[in-house]
Chain A
Amino acid sequence: KQEVTQIPAALSVPEGENLVLNCSFTDSAIYNLQWFRQDPGKGLTSLLLIQSSQREQTSGRLNASLDKSSGRSTLYIAASQPGDSATYLCAVGTFTNRDDKIIFGKGTRLHILP
């Protein structure tokens, strides 16, 4: 059974620092991996989608990498800003008994200190 883990559950860093969020998954047979941002009480916003054939995706100050063989993905945030404070979720697209589905991690709650 596919499990997605995000460590740490919470992280506080000073403004301006570069940081890395980690995501691991137990079954390497995935189709894609997606990183989301969730602000308190709000919906999820997709940040980056990496297909299984890709190694990384970049959008502005965000860079996500994928290593399927080791079951890991990282989300790199450059020059962090207070507006980056949110919960970051990763999710893997996978195929179960009957159809495809997406499995979420529980998220890393990020707080950027001004």
Chain B
Amino acid sequence: EAQVTQNPRYLITVTGKKLTVTCSQNMNHEYMSWYRQDPGLGLRQIYYSMNVEVTDKGDVPEGYKVSRKEKRNFPLILESPSPNQTSLYFCASSPGGLAYYEQYFGPGTRLTVT
């Protein structure tokens, strides 16, 4: 089954403790991205990757890191999480550029930073 998977689905952590949220897709998509969703603010893009070893900042990249060493995986790293990073996070993938192709979303990771 074609899908985007994220792990963990739920995470509660403390300020400053490094964490990684994994994202994997099995559709051989070139484009992957991370979003956060907050009440009243909607979905905002954090980082994206056009292909392996190619990543770039989205609208709200501060406090996050990403890497794309393999086509299928695009982990999101929070080196020193803070409470303002408490949010619902989505990974998405697309066959190519967003302007032309449909995006496929993962189930989401709900992160709470205390």
Q: Do B45 and A101 touch across chains, with their CB atoms under 8 A apart?
A: yes
Chain A interface bracket (under 10, 10 to 19, 20 to 34, 35 or more)? 20 to 34
The contact string, 1 if C-beta is below 8 Å from chain B, for chain A 86-114, is: 00010101110011111011110000000
A99 vs B33: C-alpha distance in the bound complex, in angstroms?
14
Chain B interfacial residues counted at CB < 8 A: 25
Please tell me which one of the listed residues A34, A42, A51 contacts residue B108 in the complex, with CB atoms under 8 A apart: A42
Please tell me which one of the listed residues B42, B99, B106 contacts residue A107 in the complex, with CB atoms under 8 A apart: B42
A4 vs B103: C-alpha distance in the bound complex, in angstroms?
17
Name the CB-closest residue of A to B45.
Answer: A101
Using Cβ atoms and an 8 Å threshold, which residues of chain B touch A91?
A: 43
Please tell me which one of the listed residues A41, A49, A95, A102 contacts residue B110 in the complex, with CB atoms under 8 A apart: A41
A97 vs B102: C-alpha distance in the bound complex, in angstroms?
21
Could you give 6 example pairs across A and B, Cβ below 8 Å?
Answer: A32-B100, A42-B107, A44-B92, A45-B105, A99-B97, A104-B42
B interface vs A, CB < 8 Å? 4, 40-43, 45, 48, 50, 56, 58, 88, 90, 92, 97-100, 102-108, 110
